[in-house]
Structure 1
């Protein structure tokens, strides 16, 4: 390896401005890696959301679905989270999944670069009991006969993001029994890591991003197809091994990298902005289509689910990591949000609203509608303790032909039939989120469209 750029003219004669532009490209390329591995490290040390800190190769389980008390923005109130960080540096890990009796669940496998490379669950592999062997890159061992299948991990650290459907308090005993049977077993012949590789603590804070990228890129190499693009960053010191080039950098390098960091952040922030006036419902079924290399169990590798240009995929990956880290592909679960009614007015708890679904969303699992108060994006607290309504809601009243009208209002309707289809709203502004689990093709290709929400007449 060389020794990186130390000031003066950058190789190629582009100078400090060229170095800043190159650093901006490096930020776009590496920001998903930094967000992903920072989240892994934080989970090991502090926990995540309502889940407490948990060591590698062990699950942390939520006590139940999200509620307003959790104060987790945008949390789904019909799923129970299960999260594990898996380290394969000591060898394979066995995942045991219980029989869920036909009920929806998903286990999503995410590598160090935030690529979702496999799914186990009702859509992907069914709901029967099974054992899956998760193996590290380059593993060439013997697979035990008892294994249901093998999942090849692209990197030696993997996030396993689990979600188990829960249809109300009465369903919690079933979910908790499943949690007890969902296990990970380290089968390797060597000890695994106990933490994430640490960057050099002597590096100035201003260059912390590049130091983490240098260390984690070396420990978690990208897909071979990315290596040529990554090699461009050699002049920045990002491919240096051993002593960090950022411990005692030249002032010119610090200035160029700092400017590049700001430029890269601005580029990702601009690409992350939502439309000013989106259509009635806004969805991004292809936000997580940046994985172009690793298509394991349960993934769909067709061109429809891939960003066609590799360099464009780096920016999509950065945006997805910034906005929705650990969210699944659209074909696993898709959400659509709305903040305005059919006349273009923002939702306000001073009014009631109607959403007539004729037909309801076509899904392989279930659909549900939730309300989130704005600002804050939190579930709405209230005595009814009803945070979602959907196809699994007991007593939901359908019309002839299968249509259903949902009522969103601050006050509970007096008529029993209307109250059965009621979702409480806050007193002020709010947004609606429709979640569709295992959506059918009509949802994905948008031949099925959610109707606009109408303001209810007094």
Structure 2
């Protein structure tokens, strides 16, 4: 563009030109999921485009700090708009890079190498773990970053002996591309070969229970195994199961050689601490080995105009562009958090269902992918494996808070129809909450849970310890601040998958 409408022209020109520029900038920012904040005489002379729910939520954050479009450098606003888009689209890669460093290198963590199973420090999920991800306490987890850059790998889970069990395989965009589970069909244990994209080698017949073609050279695998986490014998049994579940390079597997993982060479995100462009430096690095699918390449064409893309050097940007990106880096996570608080699908009795396309590799809803699949849960099951519901408000629409006392009453005929199990888990900032009885969830099979004479269930949710007659059904809330509840329905019935089930209402009683 040239003349008065050029981005490099620092003169404001006529009011008409200013209005054109403001309207273009505002539409660009709305495309990124944000709106302009602040008002002046110029803003009052034009009718802004109709805002989406996402834009209104972002405006409430005042993320532009009152800065006026007409007085800001257009290059900075352009970079800010594209930076927010890139942050929302690329957050899973940014988050996984951080987790890879945390779990592999961080001296305060478990320090497990690539191509090995990683469990939490205490094996079962507790409030000790505060790195986010909304861990459940129904199953124990083992995760692994599997590197296919040098060739195929074999994963060999062992027989779960009737316990709920699944192996979820996703790329680092959180797109699930394969499952080992009862619902997905096929064997649950055996030897499963993971092939990198484009691999052309020959394979021996009859050696593998399943051959899985992977869309990327990096795979995140997550095992879930249901046990009674209050039973020391079951915990010991689960540890043994995980120890026997192997990850082996194809050559070692065929030769019958034992493989001991040792590679801890991951991108050092800690070196970027305090850097204003940190998320985008990480994203550029991760894009080198995790290219997006072909239909998303058009997004990179726009992002590269502000220095975001595989291996691009942000130091070559203009100062104005990097100022915009720095603000996008600062605000990006707040914008994603604001999306988590809004209903995405059917809302009923204070709960709302997760989107129907959650956990689906075919989704083009990148905000949902980043906010729910990644920020909320690292990765997420599709509804057929587990249907999630989320509650952040009581029956009056007020935020769940430590100052309130709540009751969740579930009639016997209201119990969810599931093939596996259901649970209610309490979180604050995507983490389990420390409490005096070390209880983070109410599950259907929980020992000591009391039911009414007619089979109904009452759950008491509050920060203060209740009377002894209610203690068995107490789900402790945090001592201060807001919190949320998540309802999980594993292997749910069709009515739950299709979001026709009405969960019990959460009532504030004091």
Q: With structure 2 as the length reference, what TM-score do the two structures score?
A: 0.69
Q: Which residue of 2 aligns with 1:137?
A: 197
- Equivalent residue pairs, number: 418
Q: Does the 8 Å CA contact 1:93/1:187 hold for their aligned counterparts?
A: yes
CA gap of 1:80–1:250, structure 2 versus 1, over 3 A, is same
How far is 1:71 from its partner? 5.6
Whether the 8 Å contact between 1:369 and 1:390 is mirrored in structure 2 is yes
CA–CA distance in structure 2, aligned partners of residues 358 and 125 of structure 1:
30
Alignment of 1:422 onto 2:480? no
Q: Residues 143 and 360 (structure 1 numbering): CA distance in 2 closer, same or farther, change over 3 Å?
A: farther
Match of 1:436 among 469, 479, 489: 489
Match of 2:436 among 381, 399, 412: 381
2:116 — aligned with what? 58
Residue number among 105, 126, 129 corresponding to 1:67 in the alignment: 126
Q: 1:47 to 1:286 in 2, by over 3 A?
A: farther
| Cα gap change, 1:143 to 1:438, in 2 (>3 Å) | farther
Task: Give CA deviations for 1:310-331 in whole Å, capped at 9, x if unaligned.
Answer: 3xx2222232323332232233
1:77 is the counterpart of 2:137: yes
> Hey, what does 2:248 align to over in structure 1?
185
Change (3 A) 1:186 1:412: farther
User: 1:133 Cα shift?
Assistant: 0.7
Query: What is the CA distance between 1:121 and its match in structure 2?
Result: 2.6
Q: Using the TM superposition, give the Cα deviation of residue 138 of structure 1 relative to its aligned residue in structure 2, in angstroms.
A: 1.2
Q: 1:251 aligns with which of 315, 319, 325?
A: 319
Tell me which residue corresponds to 1:335. Answer: 388
Higher relative contact order (CA 8 A, sep 6+): 1
Residues of 2 paired with 1:329 and 1:356: CA distance?
27
Name the Cα RMSD after superposition: 4.1
Contact persistence 1:338–1:431 (CA under 8 A): yes
Offset at 1:20? Answer: 3.9
Q: How far apart are residue 88 of structure 1 and its match?
A: 0.9
* Runs of 5+ unmatched residues, structure 1: 1-6, 294-305
Cα drift, residue 368 of structure 1: 2.2
Determine the structure 1 residue equivalent to 2:421: 366
Deviation at 1:262, TM superposition (A): 5.2
Q: For the Cα contact (< 8 Å) 1:371–1:379, is it kept in 2?
A: no
Higher helix fraction (1 or 2): 2
Alignment map for 1:308-323 (pairs within 5 Å): 310=364, 313-320=365-372, 321-323=374-376
Do the aligned partners of 2:276 and 2:330 also contact (CA within 8 Å) in 1? no
Distance 1:234 1:332 in 2: 37
**Partner of residue 504, structure 2:** 451
172 and 139 in structure 1: CA distance in 2 versus 1, 3 angstrom threshold: same
Q: Equivalent residue of 1:392, what SS? A: coil
1:88–1:64 distance in 2 versus 1, CA, 3 Å: same
Q: Name 2:281's counterpart in structure 1.
A: 211
Indicate if the aligned counterparts of 1:58 and 1:184 stay in contact, CA closer than 8 A.
yes
Give the distance between the partners of 1:267 and 1:371, measured in 2 at CA.
23
Contact 2:217 2:290 in 1 (8 A): yes
Q: What residue ranges of structure 2 are gaps of 5+ in the alignment?
A: 1-6, 10-23, 26-73, 253-260
State whether residues 372 and 380 of structure 1, in contact with CA within 8 Å, keep that contact through their aligned partners in structure 2. Answer: no
User: Residues of 1 paired with 2:301 and 2:338: CA distance?
Assistant: 26
Indicate if the aligned counterparts of 1:87 and 1:193 stay in contact, CA closer than 8 A.
no
